[in-house]
Amino acid sequence: MGIIEKMRLDGKKIVVTGGARGIGKSVATAFAEAGADIAIVDLDIAEAEKTAIELVQGNGIKAIAIQADVTKPEDVDGMIVSVLKTFGRLDVAFCNAGICMNIPAEEMTYEQWKKVIDINLTGVFLTAQAAGKVMLKQGGGSIINTASMSGHIVNVPQPQCSYNASKAGVIQLTKSLAVEWAKRNVRVNSISPGYIGTELTLNSPSLQPLIEQWNEMAPLGRMGKPEELQSICVYLAGDTSSFTTGSDFVIDGAFTCI
């Protein structure tokens, strides 16, 4: 069997949080194209259902949509129950749900700070914890967390201390879980994307001045594309990455090198 065949995900059962659009949808699409059955989790159930239908078409896989708030333990537990009820097992969790608020630190309210930390960091922990419990009982699995280059650098010119702190926390959480679960065959890795041109980002008038500045600073002179994150996630989800755990993969077009 060649390397391309070995990287397929046929038979694997994957849950993707924040999967209805953007990076989550793009990576879920790659998982489906590689043969995996997918559970799309999002607060926007209508969009999640639309994405699930799109994944089924042409890929010969199963896909379901689940509405859940990753900051609520009961929602996360219910999400896992739904996945197991439908698929019977859980092989991969892509913990991707997240938000960003650009607010000067001195003006940020406690509620604004807490919302970002709750979704970006606590939500990742709750999802990874719930998925990890299942995988530990099964004897193995792979967890992929969405961190950010913002966990490595301080972005400018936008003020986003809560986002940066949350993503730095995701990276260290990833390493901690990887060490705890290594001998029990549950791998935990993270991806740290740079600026990615999702449909929402590119169509936001308020972000256009920032995008121009980001592109001027970027060594490649452009934002990344969601599909440029697909191959690393397919690799981390599959068996060819069996020796890869506790790693953070920076996919930023060398932005953090400057």
The SS3 assignment for 182 reads helix
> What HEC string does 10-26 produce?
CCCEEEEECCCCHHHHH
Q: For the chain, how big is the Rg over CA atoms in Å?
A: 18
Q: Residue 42 is inside which H or E element, if any?
A: strand 37-42
Residue 224 DSSP code: B
Residue with tokens 């078409």: 57
The span from the CA of 4 to the CA of 6, in Å, is: 5
* Closest by CA position to 121, among listed 152, 142, 144, 98: 98
Catalytic residue among 26, 82, 142, 148: 148
Q: Is 235 a catalytic residue?
A: no
Q: Is 163 a catalytic residue?
A: yes
Q: Is 6 a catalytic residue?
A: no
Quick one: how far is CA 4 from the chain centroid?
23
Catalytic residue among 12, 13, 25, 167: 167
Catalytic residue among 12, 142, 163, 166: 163
* Residues carrying an active site annotation: 148, 163, 167
